[in-house]
Structure 1
């Protein structure tokens, strides 16, 4: 696809890097010549210096032939106008806007074709908040991703010393916990993917990706870790947009303390949050303050400021002072890769949390959900089997008959709709039926196009 990205900031850069890995034709527009130069030196893409609101700049970027425009500029106003210009003047088929304001929701009439012509909305702050909230709900998980409208979930977790998994094969674990119906779709050891078969033995430190029915996730996690301790005490360093969104979402769920350096922001936070949420004026990396506020008794410490280094330092300090688990918001990918699984339990990348949302709009065939795994290296994809035996590569075929690219594997099949939907852990002879939701793990993004083709029906299918 030919894609134009407006804004070479951290989100725009991460989106461009991810889309380039799939052989898309990418052009980035930004007003900062130095930022454009550095990006062009690092990535194989075309760059245009200028204001993307101006038709002449969009024309220079190739908007006339573009398949999609992704507006990731700093301001909502710019992103709205860019989408409008791209649609009205250049007839760009698909537009996506990064919008921070909660006033703009996807599907609103104001964003329709007669309004700002925004087809899809992304909000990194909202995506990060949702991501963190899932991790709070499942404290032992490294990543929680939902499929089939919340009926199935893919959870990443680390095997720990003393846990039921360690020292046993995947087959032995299934025999010991027959009611923990799940599918191990991937296993990574020292950042290297290992074959996940019944004979594969789990070692401490292994990163395990498990697919299961959402209703059975807690049982599965309990079986793997022998603990299911909910987060009751939580400390947040940084009361910015993400910190405030998260605190609001946790009202009534757990005890929350927020540390914020800016005094005026503290006053604003106090006015927006209930009185039982304590707002503290100070530095999240101040050891005396953390000790005074009993950071060692916290189930979870979250560093959510706008500064990567501050987040890393405060998280590592909180861990040393006894906090149960620590998470840090880290924008720079190199930092996130380096810190993940160290003293910092989870490094959260804002850009990576929105990549899946964007990829869903890029996928061909009946692909309805896409999630980026292991910081963009792998992917989990959900598609709907359409057509019939003659027109579909899936419908009416057993799992063993489906031609998947090497390494890709079917993790689960969701059959039916709503609460009555059934989550199946497929075997070699499981037959795929029309309208089944098929969840596939893809270890390398280069294989995505081959998997997409499975969900494309033949020309004879009219639906």
Structure 2
């Protein structure tokens, strides 16, 4: 996959290295050339100096053949403008923007542009939004036997209650992220399209829980 990233700050540089580690071709844009110093010496992608919503700069970064685009600069306006240019002008399918204003984030989610607020696990959230399945455990208890991890869910789970999801996967849903906002569910909470599911799972059962969540749910008795 070819990925273009706008913004080489802390998140952008970490995202560039994460995507490269997964075997993707990466180009990263920043108006300040000194920002590229944040990249690891192992970075093998392209660096492009310029404004990330300038069409010529995007073309230089390879946007015309890009499979994914992430706008992660420090400015909401710059991020959403560049995300819209990538989606609407160049037809990039996988586009995600970092948005600090939660109210704006909800609006752009409704327009079909996934957004990521400034929250923990930001890099992994972007990796997921760009179409990658992360196997990273976000948190472990001190004993190392319990994890809170994001579970990618198969489409058939949408419309299912959290209680049924827990029964079939063996995972306890700790919280949901819905349109950039955390939700503490109960067993009657219904899973919705684009919910991010974070569950507490014994590490010995994590692989099975991930597999169950990615599989169609079992038919009701």
TM-score by length of 2: 0.63
Determine the C-alpha separation between the residues in 2 that align with 1:19 and 1:440. 28
Partner of 2:69 in structure 1? 69
Call closer, same or farther: CA 1:456–1:16 in 2, change over 3 Å. Answer: farther
Q: How many residues align?
A: 173
What is the CA deviation profile of residues 295-349 of structure 1, one whole-angstrom value per residue up to 9, with x for unaligned ones?
xxxxxxxxxxxxxxxxxxxxxxxxxxxxxxxxxxxxxxxxxxxxxxxxxxxxxxx
Bigger relative contact order (CA 8 A; separation at least 6): 2
The answer for unaligned runs of 5 or more in structure 1 is: 129-352, 388-415, 427-436, 443-450, 458-463
1:47 paired residue number: 47
CA distance in 2, matches of 1:424, 1:112: 30
Following the alignment from structure 1 to structure 2, what is the Cα–Cα distance between the partners of residues 72 and 385? 28
5+ long unaligned stretches in structure 2:
141-146, 172-196, 205-209, 217-221
Structure 1 residue 16: deviation in Å? 1.4
Q: Does 1:382 align with 2:126?
A: no
Distance 2:88 2:155 in 1: 34
Q: Is residue 124 of structure 2 the alignment partner of residue 356 of structure 1?
A: yes
Tell me the residue number matched to 2:143: none
Instruction: Give the Å deviation of 1:81.
Output: 0.8
Contact 1:63 1:86 in 2 (8 A): yes
Cα deviation for residue 371 of structure 1 reads 5.1
Cα shift at 1:37? 5.0
Answering whether residue 163 of structure 2 is matched by residue 419 of structure 1, we say yes
Partner Cα distance (2:203, 2:23) in 1: 20
* Cα distance in 2 between the residues matched to 1:96 and 1:440: 31
| Residues 362-401 of structure 1 deviation map (CA, whole Å, 9 limit, x = unaligned) | 446xx6x8654479xx9955244689xxxxxxxxxxxxxx
Instruction: Give the corresponding residue for 2:178.
Output: none
Q: TM-score, normalization: structure 1?
A: 0.32
The 1:372–1:62 alpha-carbon spacing in structure 2 relative to 1, beyond 3 Å, is: farther
Q: Which runs of 4+ in 1 moved over 6 A?
A: 437-442
| Offset, 1:360 | 2.4
Counterparts in 2 of 1:112 and 1:381: CA distance versus 1, 3 Å: closer
Query: Contact 1:379 / 1:441 at 8 angstroms: preserved in 2?
Result: no
C-alpha change, 1:362 and 1:88, in structure 2 (3 Å) is: closer
Alpha-carbon distance, 1:105 to partner: 2.8
Aligned 8 A contact 2:99 2:116 in 1: yes
- Paired with 2:88 and 2:154, the residues of 1 have a C-alpha distance of 35
Higher gyration radius (CA): 1
